[in-house]
Amino acid sequence: MSELLAPAEASTRTSTRTDHIAWRFGTGEVRLVAAADAPVRVVSVQLDGDPSAWPADLHHAVPLVELALGAEGRQGASPHAQHRRYRPSSRLRHVRHEAVHAAVHADGIDVLTVEQSDPESKIVVTTRLEHRPGASVFRATTHLRNAGAAPVTVRYVSSFTLAGFADQDILDAPERLQLHHARNAWDAEFRWRRTSLEDAGVVDIGRVGEGNDSSLGHFGVRGYGSWSTGDHLPVGAVVDTATGRAWTWQVEHNGPWQWEALDRRSRLYVGMSGPTAQDHEWEVVLAPGEEFVGVPVAVAVSADGLQGALAEITRYRRQVRRPHVDNTTCPVIFNDYMNCLMGDPTTERLLPLVESAAAAGAEYFVIDAGWYSDEPGWWDMVGEWQPAPSRFPGGLGEVTAAITAAGMVPGLWLEPEVVGVRSPLLARLPVEALFCRDGVPLVENGRHQLDFRHPAVVRHLDETVDRLVAEFGVGYFKLDYNINIGAGTDVDGSRPGAGLLGHNRAYSGWIDGVLDRHPGLVLENCSSGGMRADHAQLSRHSIQSTSDQTDPERYVPIAAAAPASVTPEQSAVWAYPQPEWSADVNDLTLVNALLSRVHLSGRIDLLDAAGRASVRQAMDVYKGLRHRIPHALPIWPLGLPGWYDAWCAAGLLDAEGVLLQVWRRGGDDAVVLPLPQLAGQEVDVEPLFPTHARGTTTWSAAAGELRVHLPDAPSARLLRLSPRR
């Protein structure tokens, strides 16, 4: 029996037979099977769904939800940290499902809900899929409710299970599917890597019997502690090299998460979730009637390979984030930190920079770390957020007034989630306001972690933000976070991971409250650069720090790859010219930022006339093209960059053509860049910045390729490619 949920209607079904459930999202389709004697399973997430093309054999389908409760283990043996074949998952049974189309939904979105229940534990599991028209992406969340009379401990719950990548067993085409994941590290962010299934540990071992239907190999990617992206980004992708189809996903959480590539009966699938008992010291006890909502995930699908899937999820990221004028106007920001004052600001040092930043065309001026401490070693003193009199003899207001008089908006650095071990604030906070273990506050690198579930913490930070806005006219806060506090806190008697999850969600709620009170305020998300570049943060903050990398050449692959995980108009990239650097290097650091958000810094006050003119030219070029950034889609003519690549290229594609960054860090003096988006068209290629440097470009309409010759290394160019109308 097959059922297609029509896009123009809402339907509810409760069934005791086998139902085939097909739900459209953009050009994609989720296919589920609901049988009376098995849990609801995922058959596929695919493009161009056809209700007549369901596979005859559904044994490859995988559970929609994996659920671990109490001490119950798996149905079969499996290595540590694999999340599959849990006994409670096998007991889940379909209760009902409902689809509501955007045309009749109050929020204008397509929604599918699938309800299952476990007859033993009485846990009711509801999967909710949401799709916003305009992108082939859906968001999935899992909701749990204890409908029984006894408490139930939840130790794992998946957010979604992605399956149906190919119709061939791994053994038949072992190289067909490619798995992509993204490593992250301080000063080395956004490093996407491609691997084969064999290298990932997923292979066909030839046993496909009912009791042994998997190789039990897997590839796990996880985030730990309070740095959600401290080691990996919560993203991934699969590409089918035979068809060009691609899937990408993101886990939308500002704390621990995991996804893993597994196989069932020699077919690949991917499971995703938030924190888990095995990986993150997490569990939650649901009393009768209590509910729990898992961490959201988003899934995109495209017929145009990995870059097509990344374009779809870029559209989605723009749809679901909090609206802010900052994302449409893309103002130029000067920040005094990177390769500049480096956390040691004073009135004497700042005033020349204010003048130089205004002359360069900056529209915001952010005073970074150090403004609150009379001591050079301020690290373990943070928390009160009062200006240091010794740094500002005439008061901080003298500097912020100068910023305003120069036509810029003042900004300040703030690290709201921490308090130093020597901070006077500690005397005014109860111990329960800090992350603790067994009643003892945790210390990480001279700081305590504040728990935003505690009202004293929220009250202190609300008062801080409101005071700084009112007193100094602050219109921008760089919200930094420079420790990883580990698994969490047991203050409320819960497992540490549950305490961390509660804090994570409370912190997001605090951000929402700040922006509700100050809707024009710009909030930058920073965590030692990009150590918390997750979508829970990106959906709220209008701008994201991409790195603390101080070397402009090493920044190249970071800047080029960032739009795969952060929309270009949210990707803050440092541009920090120095008087001792060559013109080519100074031009390169400026090019790094010109297709994202400019974080201008460096000793621009010490540049010679030619250097100052170059900075001003770059900012003028940026202002002339920035209207395209919030709508254009990222492309990578050479693919996503490797850390050591001699040549890198990244661009933005829109109706006007292509804006293209090209970098040479070594290697041959020329490169050919495939641009199939412009193939067959005559194209004008214009160097936008720098315009004085050596180099040539040659366009081949027939091949859809641009040859770029740069005789000097390192060097970089920003080019505009405009099809002739």
pLDDT at 80: 54
The candidate with the shortest Cα–Cα distance to 271, out of 49, 89, 23, 33, is 89
In the CATH scheme, what is the code of domain 66-87+118-320?
Answer: 2.70.98.60
CB 500 within 8 A of CB 489: yes
In the CATH scheme, what is the code of domain 634-723?
Answer: 2.60.40
For residue 545, CA distances in Å to 196, 484, 532 come to 31, 17, 9
Residue 290 main-chain phi, psi, to 5 deg: -75, 155
Does the pLDDT at position 76 exceed 90? no
When pLDDT is cut at 50, 70 and 90, the band that residue 58 belongs to is confident
Residue-wise pLDDT for 377-425, tens only, equals 889 999 999 999 999 999 999 999 999 999 999 999 999 999 999 999 9
As a whole number of angstroms, the distance between CA 378 and CA 395 comes to 19
CB 85 within 8 A of CB 78: yes
Handedness of CA 332, 338, 344, 346 (dihedral sign): negative
When pLDDT is cut at 50, 70 and 90, the band that residue 166 belongs to is confident
Exposed / middle / buried, residue 388 (Cβ in 10 Å: 0-12, 13-18, 19+):
middle
Residue 310 main-chain phi, psi, to 5 deg: -65, -30
As a whole-number percent, the residues of the chain with pLDDT over 90 amount to: 86
Which helix (H) or strand (E) segment holds residue 617: the answer is helix 609-625
pLDDT at 281: 96
pLDDT at 207: 61
| CATH of range 326-545; options 3.40.220.10, 3.30.9.10, 3.20.20.70, 2.60.120.10 | 3.20.20.70
Residue written as tokens 């003899």? 393
HEC-encoded secondary structure of 503-559: HHHHHHHHHHHHHHHCCCCEEEECECCECCCCHHHHCCCCEEECCCCCCHHHHHHHH
pLDDT at 56: 75
CB 72 within 8 A of CB 260: no
Residue written as tokens 């109860």? 430
As a whole number of angstroms, the distance between CA 384 and CA 225 comes to 25
Which helix (H) or strand (E) segment holds residue 715: the answer is strand 715-723
Helix, strand, coil percentages (3-state) for the chain, rounded to 5, are 25, 35, 45
Q: Output the average pLDDT for the chain.
A: 93
Continuous H helices in 230-304: 277-280
Rg from Cα positions in the chain: 26
The candidate with the shortest Cα–Cα distance to 683, out of 707, 649, 710, is 707
Q: Domain extents for the chain?
A: 66-87+118-320, 326-545, 634-723
Q: Two tokens at 436?
A: 């603790």
Residue 142 main-chain phi, psi, to 5 deg: -115, 130
When pLDDT is cut at 50, 70 and 90, the band that residue 50 belongs to is low
Residue-wise pLDDT for 477-527, tens only, equals 999 999 999 999 999 988 999 999 999 999 999 999 999 999 999 999 999
CB 152 within 8 A of CB 146: yes
The lowest-confidence range among 122-136, 164-178, 705-719 is: 164-178
Residue-wise pLDDT for 586-632, tens only, equals 999 999 999 999 999 999 999 999 999 999 999 999 999 999 999 99
Q: Two tokens at 725?
A: 């109308």
As a whole number of angstroms, the distance between CA 325 and CA 704 comes to 36
> pTM of the full predicted structure?
0.95
Across 319-443, the runs of DSSP E, i.e. the strands, are 333-335, 364-367, 409-414, 418-420, 436-437, 440-441
With vertex at residue 663, the alpha carbon angle to CA 662 and CA 665, rounded to the nearest 5 degrees, is 160
- Maximum alpha-carbon separation in the chain: 79
Residue-wise pLDDT for 591-600, tens only, equals 999 999 999 9
* Mean pLDDT across 250-258: 98
Residue-wise pLDDT for 674-695, tens only, equals 999 999 999 999 999 999 989 9
CB 629 within 8 A of CB 364: no
